Amino acid sequence: MNKTKVGDNTRLAHMGNNPRDFHGFVNPPVVHASTVLFPDAGTMASRNQKYTYGTRGTPTTDALAAAMNELEGAAGTIIVPSGLAAVTVPMLAFLSSGDHILIVDSVYHPTRHFADTMLTRLGVEVTYYDPAADKGIATLMQPNTKVVLTEAPGSGTFEMQDIPAIVDIAHRGGAIVMMDNTWATPLFFRPLDHGVDISIQAATKYPGGHSDVLLGTVSANEACFERLLDANGALGICAAPDDVYQVLRGLRTMGVRLERHQQSALALARWLEGQKGVARVLHPALESHPGHAIWKRDFTGSSGLFSIVLDGGGEKQAHAFLDTLKYFGLGYSWGGYESLAVHVQLNDRTIAKPPEEGPVIRLQVGLEDVEDLKADLAAALDATAKA
Ligand SMILES: *Cc1c(COP(=O)(O)O)cnc(C)c1O
């Protein structure tokens, strides 16, 4: 099969395992393993067989890693137990005491927490940069800058970043670029094709898709994979086989789910732009978004997560909005089949100014019927106006 010519959904249906490897069963086995037996002492001494120990991979993890390699266009993928681990493991792999990292200020909050506590304690210098800086990161690059971390759109506020421009500056300064690409998934943006060295995915979100599994994947280019794999092995991090299987299962339908998430989120975002009580809608696929041109140039789609800025008010109004919602649950994470809402806290920002008009509410648009979600949001806006 010519993998570059077929459509995304065709690829999602056929990538990863080869059914012929397992007697024709469509799906790979879920291999629970620590010990792997060797046929004789010589083979054991040379470790000259495909699988050697449970922490070093199984047919189940290989199937998911192969699928992610194909989706990401990567040389290799490691699978870790959460999306957050998919951020921290590559940082530990590529940063040493005395090194410097540049991190976008609109980063996922737990990534900032890791940088401000553990990385700092290990002697890594951390600088946050404006998500709008793009080429401007040149002025922040130091001789010891080893990693530039990007995340686009930004967590909670959805700022876009000019990834190719950042890659160019970082590489010229001898740094590698990592990208947390959870929002777009490799279906809507392929970081490695744009020069990024390490692509991070919280597989908990769209790949899993059902709010019942935690997993992360880190995909690297040829130059970075060996070091990444080695660090992961050194740390002893591996994911549980049932979770790995669940994510491979989720990937098969990710394309059709994302189509629906995209469609419903865009419909609601456009409708919300015209609603009283909404100051702004933060969705990069909207023409009104400051990062729209970059999104249009580099991305091939948009997912189901965006924010609205309420027109005035504070916590009382934000809570009135959230407490009125019936189908949007109040909870963290996203990417599942059900809608969610959260009041975004932006007091961790050091450079990127949070919106000032009012509270920011992040919406995860699920697979429900869009008219029901619209009615839910309309009632919430009504209640907010009265609060
Ligand atoms: C959720 C999320 C993560 C972390 O994923 P978990 O599996 O919940 O640890 C990392 N990055 C981004 C952008 C996320 O939204």
What residues does 252 pair with on adjacent strands? Answer: none
Q: Are 231 and 88 in contact (CB under 8 A)?
A: no
Distance of CA 210 to the CA centre of its chain: 16
Domain definitions of the chain by residue range: 8-250, 254-386
pLDDT at 253: 98
Expressed in angstroms and rounded, the spacing between residue 202 Cα and the centre of ligand 1 is: 5
- Is any atom of ligand 1 closer than 6 Å to the C-beta of 335? no
Task: Give this prediction's pTM.
Answer: 0.97
Identical fold, 8-250 and 254-386: no
- Is any atom of ligand 1 closer than 6 Å to the C-beta of 83? yes
Mean pLDDT of the chain: 97
Q: What is the rounded average pLDDT of the residues 133-142?
A: 97
Q: What is the CATH number of domain 8-250?
A: 3.40.640.10
Whether 35 shows a pLDDT value over 80: the answer reads yes
Give the architecture (CATH level 2) of 254-386.
Answer: Alpha-Beta Complex (3.90)
- Is any atom of ligand 1 closer than 6 Å to the C-beta of 214? yes
How many degrees, rounded to 5, is the angle at CA 128 between CA 123 and CA 130? 165
Identify the CA nearest to 239 among candidates 265, 280, 270, 208.
Answer: 208
Which of 145-149, 158-162, 184-188, 352-356 has the least mean pLDDT?
Answer: 352-356
Q: How many residues are recorded in the chain?
A: 387
pLDDT digits (tens, 9 = 90+) for 323-346: 999 999 999 999 999 999 999 999
Expressed in angstroms and rounded, the spacing between residue 131 Cα and the centre of ligand 1 is: 18
Q: What contacts 24+ positions apart, CB below 8 Å, involve 111-118?
A: 111/84, 111/87, 111/149, 111/151, 111/180, 112/348, 114/84, 114/87, 114/88, 115/91, 118/88
What's the start-to-end Cα distance of the chain, in Å? Answer: 59
Which residue's CA is the closest to the ligand 1 atom numbered 4?
A: 83
Q: Residue 4 — very low, low, confident or very high, per pLDDT cuts 50/70/90?
A: low
Whether 2 shows a pLDDT value over 80: the answer reads no
- The enclosing H or E element of 217 equals strand 216-220
Identify the CA nearest to 205 among candidates 61, 68, 333.
Answer: 333
